[in-house]
Amino acid sequence: MEKSEMKQSEYSVVIIGSGVAGLYAALKFAQMRKSAEKILLVTKCPLGESNSRYAQGGIAGVIRINPQDSVDLHTSDTLKAGAGLSDEAVTRYISGSSENILFDLIQNGIKFDSDESGNFAYALAGAHSLKRVLHIGEDSTGRGLIEVLVNKIKDIKKICVMEKSTVVDLIVNSDKKCQGVIIYNKDTNEHEVVYSSAVVIATGGAGQIYKYTTNPYGATGDGIAAAYEAGAEIQDIEFIQFHPTALAQNPNSKNRFLISEAVRGEGAKLINKNNETFMQRYSNKGELASRDIVTRAIFAEMKRLNTDNVFLDTTVINHDKLLKRFPTIAKKCKAIGIDITKTPIPVAPAAHYTMGGVKAEINGKTSINGLYVIGEAASTGLHGANRLATNSLLECVVCAYESARNLVNSDLTITKDLDENTDKIINEYSAPVKADEYDITALKNRLREIMWNNAGIIRNEKSLIKAKNDIEQLKKEFNRNRKCLNLGEYEYRNMLTVAELIIQGAINRKESRGAHFRSDYPKRNETAEHSVIVKEE
């Protein structure tokens, strides 16, 4: 079989993904390491397009000028939400680092909202004991962070940005050392070998494997799939957080706009089609219960009344305050004919956040030497079984900072000595692939239906086994082992991998805990621990 020569290049560090974690890691490495090493920032979408951009509620932080708050209190809130699976040491470190990191963001041009006195305008989010959430543009924190970080990145010459490209494989030798990546460029339809001393995965989550999601189209689990295929440990992947309140005016709309938890924090009430409040029947915390409880409560009400959604009554909030605090939400709703000062918002749960992922330390280190994973693609132990709202952006920036600091003090010598394992990877991408015709859109939709109906908000042995068998059938129909023809095929390949991991983790976890609810095992098993899945060699 004839092989083609792939383009080759070298960079000291390759960072995959341009959400808050990837951008901040690139920025801090460039700022900390004054030498001339080149950094490659690879992004499948236009620079800055990511899950992070759509984060509304804000970023949690413990700042000493907020005298009622403390690291102990924030840690306690996180551990409670995490349902016994959050790592206390990790949680305490990330919370304790928040002040320094937030002020570093401010020094880099981030401007958090302030009140009339010029002090930070703290907000309350569900399951937090008090107001500790900082925000930008009231309800557009993610976009505010992204825009500043993108502008900073563009001014740094030693950061090379490769857009509309995706890492489709990691070059890992038989000693479990990552030596680089294989990149696919959507525009040129070409593959490239990039050798590097370190690779940082910051590709976000995998919400697109579910029928309904708040995630953008690029959230297909690419980084998690690549790390798994390379032999990295995957931890707690069965814990998928479903956001309880996504805009659901049209039941056929798959990608759903997020209605921030902060809206409930400001006093909005959930009501059913009969205009009845119902959260008090499910939790004494009402609308401010943790996301898993609110999600299952809404799901139960929808099933009980045979409806496609419930409603979030924002009319109970002062009109001026509502429009000032949530301008993005008000604008989005107005565009579809909903005046949130007068009309409740139709909402329903949607897949939102991948709490498990590649097992990683706070500095991003994984079980593969030279491979780092940060942000939503990582499982550091912070979120446990149920992420506390607004902790995700905090984890992104703290772990990005720590990974950059670790890399700055590392030996960044690039080694190109290939062995049988790495040769095999490169050769497979050099060879032609059979041009089978696949309707990738239809295949993705089948996968999403399978996951939503059988491995979603409520699970059981029967549904999970069905999902497993259905996914295996999809894999048989899709005759691709490694190399694919286009971006859609690569995304689908990765979605299949992550779907299988979620299903396997859910089958193995025979209990209900946090976001993972098994109707056949409705109680929590106090002896259960973290789940870890590793690819068999």
Q: Which residues pair with 234 in a beta bridge?
A: 358, 533
Give the C-alpha separation, 396 to 268, whole Å.
28
> Does 91 score more than 80 pLDDT?
yes
- Reference 445, options 197, 254, 190; nearest CA is 254
- Cβ atoms of 228 and 497 within 8 Å: the answer is yes
Tell me the pLDDT of the chain averaged across its residues. 94
What is the residue type of 376?
E
- HEC assignment per residue over 391-402: HHHHHHHHHHHH
Length of the chain: 537
User: What three-state secondary structure class fits 252?
Assistant: coil
pLDDT tens profile 286-318:
998 888 899 999 999 999 999 999 999 999 999
Tens digit of each residue's pLDDT (9 = 90 or more) over 441-493? 999 999 999 999 999 999 999 999 999 999 999 999 998 889 999 999 999 99
pLDDT at res. 26: 97
pLDDT of residue 187: 92
The pLDDT of residue 481: 83
DSSP state of 269: E
* Average pLDDT, integer, range 148-172: 96
Q: Where are the domains of the chain?
A: 244-351, 429-533
Instruction: Retrieve residue 347's tokens.
Output: 């909402």
Q: Tell me whether residue 433 is exposed, middle or buried, using C-beta atoms within 10 angstroms of its C-beta: 0 to 12, 13 to 18, 19 or more.
A: middle
pLDDT of 9 over the 50 cut: yes
436 pLDDT more than 90: no
Measured CA to CA, the distance from residue 343 to residue 219 in angstroms comes to 31
Please give the DSSP secondary-structure letter assigned to residue 167: E
Q: Quick check: is 33 catalytic?
A: no
Same topology between domain 244-351 and domain 429-533: no
- pLDDT of amino acid 4: 64
Of 208, 272, 101, 241, whose CA–CA distance to 451 is shortest? 208
pLDDT level of residue 103 (50, 70, 90 thresholds)? very high
Query: Can you give the pLDDT at residue 3?
Result: 59
Of the chain, the percentage scoring pLDDT greater than 90 comes to 87
Residue 2 scores a pLDDT above 70? no
Fold topology of 244-351? Flavocytochrome C3; Chain A, domain 1 (3.90.700)
Report helix, strand and coil shares of the chain as percent, to nearest 5: 35, 20, 45
Catalytic residue among 33, 143, 256, 291: 291
Q: What secondary structure letter does DSSP report for 209?
A: G
Task: Find out whether 261 and 57 touch, Cβ atoms under 8 Å.
Answer: yes
Cα distances (Å, whole numbers) of residue 285 to 195, 269, 278, 304: 52, 12, 12, 21
120-145 residue pLDDT tens: 999 888 789 999 999 999 888 999 99
Return the CATH class of domain 429-533: mainly alpha
Element (H, E) at 235: strand 234-235
Residue 1's pLDDT band (cuts 50, 70, 90): very low
Q: State CA 292 to chain mean position distance.
A: 17
| Tens-place pLDDT, residues 175-188 | 999 999 999 999 99
Is 80 exceeded by the pLDDT of residue 36? no
CA–CA distances in Å: residue 491 to residues 61, 230, 466, 488: 34, 17, 23, 5
Six token digits for residue 97: 């680092």
Q: Is it the case that residue 226 has pLDDT exceeding 50?
A: yes
DSSP 79-138: HHHTTT-S-HHHHHHHHHHHHHHHHHHHHTT----B-TTSSB--B--TT-SS--EE-STT
Share of the chain above pLDDT 70, in %: 99
Structure pTM?
A: 0.95
Alpha-carbon 61 to chain mean position:
19
For the segment 342-365, the average pLDDT, to the nearest whole number, is 97
Which of 118, 145, 141 has the alpha carbon at shortest distance from 262? Answer: 141
Find tokens 């002062």 and name the residue.
Answer: 318
